[in-house]
Amino acid sequence: VQLQASGGGLVQAGGSLRLSCSAPGRMRSPWTVAWFRQTPGMDRDFVAVMHRSAGRIYYADSVKGRFAYSRDTARNTVYLQMNSLRPEDTAVYYCAASPSVISSNLASQNAYADWGQGTQVTVSS
C-alpha cells in the first residue's frame, strides 16, 4: 500500500496547516518515516523525521520551533504540524519511508525507497 500525503493548501503567512501521511505497515521499527519538501527545479529537502518509529525526532534547522512531527499508530498516520508558516515554506511536501535508514542518512532523500504523492503547500505573504 502506497504512502499518501494530504492536508496541503493555501494559507497566509503566520498561519498553520497540518499535513497527514497515511503509512500502513510502516509505523513500527525498523521503519522510519520522514517528511521532505520540494520546490520547482530543486531537489527534495529534508524537513523532519522520527528514526525507526520510536526514536528521536529530527528537524531541519529552517523549521525547528515551528513544525512538529507526531504520529498516531492506531490510525497508521504520521503528521506534520506546521505553525508560523512563511512564504519560503511554499513547496510540495512528501512523506517517505524506509526500513533500513541509518542515522547518518536520515536527511538524505536517497535513503528512502517509498514515497507518497506530494501535497502542495502555498504560503502567501
Residue of 15, 24, 110 lying closest to 74 (CA atoms): 24
> 38-48, pLDDT tens digit by residue?
999 999 999 99
Give the chain's radius of gyration (CA, Å). Answer: 13
Contacts of 58 (CB under 8 A, 6+ apart): 48, 49, 51, 106, 107
Asked if the peptide bond before residue 24 counts as cis, ω within 30 degrees of 0, the response is no
Tell me the pLDDT tens digit for each residue of 50-98.
Answer: 988 667 999 999 999 999 999 999 999 999 999 999 999 999 999 999 9
**Which has the closest alpha carbon to 5: 71, 87, 90, 94?**
94
